[in-house]
A and B are shown apart, each in its own frame.
Chain A
């Protein structure tokens, strides 16, 4: 499979805590992207990190990329109940391939 894998599969935290999700992938990439999916909805783009970047920030999101290890992490700081969703990494090589997702639950 071309898919990456997210770790952990499920994560439950208290509101205000930080949430970290990891993604490992198999192929060479042009960039790696993170998406969010609320229950029953389509995916929404969160952030893109290019293969020559190591870290990127956007609001409460921090993404790192290690191309030598073929891995990325997404950190959500000061989590809110509204952050409850599934989060997916997607590799952009010749096509977009998605990981299996992390289900995040933020408890108010």
Chain B
């Protein structure tokens, strides 16, 4: 199995440009999420999804959009890139689900990251 696949690995944008970071998982996980990692800040949750058609905001959602049309894919869109969005982005999925009783917990599986620079 490929696990969690993120593309691209590296991207340079100019301020105001838009782009989409792709994330796909082949483990049939309901839960998917996006984090950004900045020096000294740890990982901060941008958006997450508990299943197809369901998305919600995390700690730092401004400037980012997500959608979840299928279980496998969870793209992250930057509509108008800003230098403050320069970061390393990680997608993660988990078998964790609240759709069963009792809720099933689980670990996060991470992609290898996408390094984004906004000039």
Chain A interface residues toward B at CB < 8 A: 1-3, 30-31, 33, 35, 40-45, 48, 50, 88, 90, 92, 95-101
Contacts and interface: CB of A to CB of B under 8 A. Distances in A.
B48 A41 contact: no
Contacts of B33: 95-96
B102 to A, nearest CB: 10
A42 B110 CA distance: 6
Contacts, number: 61
Interface of B: 4, 33, 35, 40-45, 48, 58-59, 90, 92, 94, 96, 103, 105, 107-113
A96 B105 contact: no
Contacts of A99: 42
B108 A43 contact: yes
B40 A100 contact: yes
B42 A92 contact: no
Contacts of B113: 40-42
B76 to A, nearest CB: 15
Nearest to B43: A98
Contacts of B96: 92
Contact of A33 (B43, B48, B107): B107
A90 B112 CA distance: 18
B105 A98 contact: no
Given A92-B96, A95-B58, A100-B41, A43 B90 contact: yes
A44 B110 contact: yes
